[in-house]
Amino acid sequence: MKQIPALLTLVCLASLIACGSREANEEPRIAPRAAGADESLSLADWEAFADRIREVGRLVEAENVPTSEIDRAEGYRYLLGMLSETIAEALYQSDLEDPHLRYHITKWKGEAMPSSDARYQRAEIDGKGVYRMYGQLGNAVHITLQAYAGVGARETFDLAGVVDEEGRFSIVIGGERRDSNWMKVSEDAEMIQLREYFGDWDRAEFSRIHLERLDQPARGVPTSAARVKRALARAALPLHTRVPYWKQRMDAIRANHDNSISPARTLGDVGLGGLYYGDGWFDLEEDEALLIEFAPPVAAHWSFQLGNYWGQWMDWANFTSSTNGVQAQPGSDGRIRLVIARSDPGVPNWLDTAGHREGVIVYRYHKPESNPLPTTRLVKLSELRSVLPADTPEVTMGERAEEVRRRREHKRRRWQP
């Protein structure tokens, strides 16, 4: 097990996502092009894009990165997924006249430990523009709409407060203030993000939502060399800034936790309102298990999940690497006991490390009325039954396979066109 440096302070997920101020989270953005600037497009622009990719790749081989084959392999896969997303961001930013809601966090794309219970959608916007969002909400236990500039959150809007009896809604985003069904957006906003959190995956009903821009002519704008030049400049910039940023945060969590968990807390005005985040780190031998125990919070929703060194969620569809207040099975005393282990312990609430020796633990309490601090206990797998309640049931291989089958089915429905 690694030693915890005495000079480093305890860092929880709140500091991973929000370093105390909105400015600390903001990444460099492409400045408006000065009048008379060179807008010609050439091979040099492409080569500058490639140089940024080459430079960030060196982080995978940094000295403090875990040396296991899976962690290194996932590092390069992480960069591929991030690159595909930053390219998509740049392309959509180059055509703000035609906004498009899309799934930007999927199996291969995700940073900063997105929730395994959430379906995320985003659209690149012009903060000075005016938009209409409309559609019908599903049955998510928590749904939010937020505006962002870089990685810094701006305004938050509760769509559940504007729906009719059949779950339909229509709001205006940006522009002049309106008396109702209006979301204010900062002029520096570059993106809006929609989050839908689900507890019962089997019965999840997803929202159907549309977005259109109101202050632009109906016809599109032809591609130009200047637009593509700016897209190339933008495409690698988030990759070049976000990867080191989140790696630094994960390194801090890893250094400050050795099979332990921090208290959950809010992110203030930076993150998602009404959400408490906590974090920890597991580091297990093949014959060890980490037992996490807590009284379930009084909350709209709660969840636990595992992630890798790069701050990406584990494959929650093919492995039982996450659970929530609907999925987790409480003991006869009402308490929740989760077991992190590298092999199936044959008990409920197994958090599968999916081939990893170590990784991050993230938990969330949504709109909580209580904030229980989970306890952790490192035990030998052979001794696990002796520290669990005597009436803890056995989970068979067939039951575990059915659990995974249902997860795969939910994944298919979550991201289907």
Report residue 240's pLDDT band, with 50, 70 and 90 as the boundaries.
Answer: confident
- CA-based diameter of the chain, in Å? 77
Residue ranges making up the domain that contains 58: 13-17+42-245
Residue 152 has pLDDT above 90, yes or no: no
Cβ neighbour number for residue 157 with a 10 Å cutoff: 21
Q: Which residues lie across from 192 on neighbouring strands?
A: 123, 147
> Do 302 and 377 reside in the same domain of the chain?
yes
Residue 251 has pLDDT above 70, yes or no: yes
Give the H/E segment covering residue 24. helix 22-25
Given 221, 245, 269, the domain boundary residue is: 245
Cβ neighbour number for residue 193 with a 10 Å cutoff: 18
- Whose tokens are 């938050």? That residue is 156
Q: What is the CATH number of the domain that holds 272?
A: 2.60.120.1600
Residue 93 has pLDDT above 70, yes or no: yes
Residue 34 has pLDDT above 60, yes or no: no
DSSP H helices, 198-273, are 225-235, 237-256
Residue 70 belongs to some domain of the structure: yes
Given 245, 270, 288, the domain boundary residue is: 245
Residue 284 belongs to some domain of the structure: yes
Residue 65 belongs to some domain of the structure: yes
157 Cβ contact list (under 8 Å, min separation 6):
144, 145, 146, 171, 183
Q: What backbone phi and psi angles, to 5 degrees, belong to 184?
A: -70, 140
> Do 331 and 274 reside in the same domain of the chain?
yes
> Do 150 and 123 reside in the same domain of the chain?
yes
> Do 229 and 262 reside in the same domain of the chain?
no
Given 245, 267, 288, the domain boundary residue is: 245
> Do 202 and 76 reside in the same domain of the chain?
yes
> Do 238 and 125 reside in the same domain of the chain?
yes
Provide the number of structural domains found in the chain.
2
Residue 154 belongs to some domain of the structure: yes
Q: State the average pLDDT over residues 168-196.
A: 96
- What pLDDT score was predicted for residue 17? 40
> Do 236 and 270 reside in the same domain of the chain?
no
- What pLDDT score was predicted for residue 273? 67
Residue 221 belongs to some domain of the structure: yes
In angstroms, how far is CA 378 from the centroid of its own chain?
A: 27
Distance CA 129, CA 157 (A): 17
> Do 219 and 278 reside in the same domain of the chain?
no
> Do 180 and 282 reside in the same domain of the chain?
no
In 257-296, where do the E strands start and end?
260-261, 275-283, 288-294
Which of 39-43, 128-132, 333-337 is least confident? 39-43
- What pLDDT score was predicted for residue 19? 33
Residue 7 belongs to some domain of the structure: no
The average confidence (pLDDT) of the chain is 89
> Do 53 and 172 reside in the same domain of the chain?
yes
Report residue 63's pLDDT band, with 50, 70 and 90 as the boundaries.
Answer: confident
- What tokens appear for 296 in the block? 């379930």
Which of 1-15, 88-102, 185-199, 354-368 is least confident? 1-15
Q: State the average pLDDT over residues 59-64.
A: 90
Residue 129 belongs to some domain of the structure: yes
> Do 313 and 351 reside in the same domain of the chain?
yes
Residue 20 has pLDDT above 50, yes or no: no
Residue 27 belongs to some domain of the structure: no
The DSSP output letter for 159 is G
> Do 227 and 270 reside in the same domain of the chain?
no
